[in-house]
Structure 1
């Protein structure tokens, strides 16, 4: 082999290695990229979404018992609701049973969440959404079996529920377009 042939071999080998590195990097980049597009309703612990921006979190000042609207509280902390001044009893406290942040699509299957509930158990459902249409909320297993509509981008729906015993079921359906849902069910004590 002469020097020119030897240089061509080295150049070809370097070009091949560079191409292999680019292909491997592109493959890694594609595999490591986050999924985009609609999230299946089966994913219930998605990362925080814009839907959380519309939810009102309230805290009671331990010193004087007044309602304080502060920055958005940690969603893993219990929500605290203060009774009107002059009302009997202490402020109600809640413990989250489940929280769900899901993407709902119009015409898609509803998102259904269930929990076992004791007869007379008191619960609070807070549901808000962001998207192009309202979300219908249907409850089974509670007195009156309420049905409400959450207007996306509007204030969250707050439903106080009293369980009839057995299973407490909540069903969310996107009405007029896709919606990002943020819902929490808490037991009141």
Structure 2
């Protein structure tokens, strides 16, 4: 499919972020796990059951979000506020996808051809899923990305990822509900 070529870079970046959820659970790890769980929600555009996909990922995001709420409620209220805003965005995305795109996007095959991505597409090695389902059981299924290419991924630098997140976070500003509407 032509869209796979365009979605590969985003897909690989999201899997790379999701790889950081493995390890000891500190406050920072809980926050990263919350983002790692929810960033994959952007793959709804290629899902044939988009509304169900978005709902399931939103629900799984709440597992780690509750840990962040528990750890940060008193000590880091700005993290709690940011997380509530993020969960609000996911709720709204769930509503929009459910109302307008329950079966994903339908691409116009007769439309103009999209240009090929200019960035190099990197593959991601298998991702260990250690998600806890609603019954408290942990699954250790190996997740193989559907999109693949032949070269090896670059090793991920945790410091670089945190610096990237910090620079993005520094440029964010609080937006109140009246400003959005």
**TM-score calculated relative to the size of structure 2:** 0.23
More helix by share: 2
More strand by share: 1
Based on CA coordinates, which of the two structures has the bigger radius of gyration? Answer: 1
**TM-score calculated relative to the size of structure 1:** 0.22
